[in-house]
Structure 1
Amino acid sequence: MLLVERQTPKGLLVSVCDRNVLGESFEAPDGRASITVTEDFYGEGADAVDEEAVIDSLSRASVANLVGTETVEVAIDSGFVDAEHVLELEGTRHAQFLRM
């Protein structure tokens, strides 16, 4: 997985994606949602990390953007994302969370 942390005025923004989705675009079957996993947002300055590093980063995040089956599964399994709120986009998964 590729992980980027950015400190913002509102807290830590975490972006995580599966390696194989970087540079790809995905659309919901109904066409109401789409995402492009850009190098600028998900790849630039990214570290290749394991599940433990993703969990650590998500535990400190104020906001997270997550793309890819493995990445979203880690977030679900560790309790950061509820599976029923995950978008299925052309064979991959996307989730976001905001800690308030």
Structure 2
Amino acid sequence: MLLRERETAEGTLVSVCDADCLGETYEDGPMTLEVTEEFYGGEDAVEASAEAVVAGLHRAQVANIVGTEAVDVAVEAGLVDEKTVLDVAETRHAQLLWL
């Protein structure tokens, strides 16, 4: 999985994706999900274990998670409710917002 953390005016933004999702576009009806290098990759992105992903998600104020493995890690850690996960074509997507 690729993990990227960055500071924004609203707090820490974390993006996580399965490595094989990077650069892909998923379409399901009117919904399009682009997993861009600009948002999920780049020099700040690191290959991460499940434990590192969970730690990063705990530091996030906002997170975007794409891919079956990445979303499953967030669900299994109790950070994302399975009922809120979107299935988009061949992948999964979840968002996390800590208030």
- Output the TM-score relative to the length of structure 2: 0.95
Q: Distance in 2 between matches of 1:93 and 1:27?
A: 11
Q: Distance in 1 between matches of 2:97 and 2:12?
A: 10
**Structure 1 runs of 4+ off > 4 angstroms?**
none
Which residue is 1:54 aligned to?
53
Which residue is 2:16 aligned to?
16
What are the residue-to-residue correspondences of 1:40-51 with 2, within 5 Å? Answer: 40-44=38-42, 45-51=44-50
Deviation at 1:99, TM superposition (A): 0.7
Which residue is 1:86 aligned to?
85
- State the secondary structure of the residue aligned to 2:30: coil
Q: Distance in 1 between matches of 2:81 and 2:39?
A: 23
Q: Distance in 1 between matches of 2:49 and 2:72?
A: 13
Structure 2: stretches of 5+ with no match in the other structure? none
Q: Distance in 2 between matches of 1:9 and 1:83?
A: 29
Structure 1: stretches of 5+ with no match in the other structure? none
- State the secondary structure of the residue aligned to 1:74: helix
Q: Distance in 1 between matches of 2:13 and 2:31?
A: 22
Deviation at 1:88, TM superposition (A): 0.5
Deviation at 1:32, TM superposition (A): 2.9
Instruction: Output one character per residue of 1:34-82: Cα deviation in whole Å (capped at 9) or x when no partner.
Output: 1100000001121001000000011111000000000000000001111
Supply the RMSD in Å over aligned alpha carbons. 0.8
Q: Distance in 1 between matches of 2:13 and 2:94?
A: 14
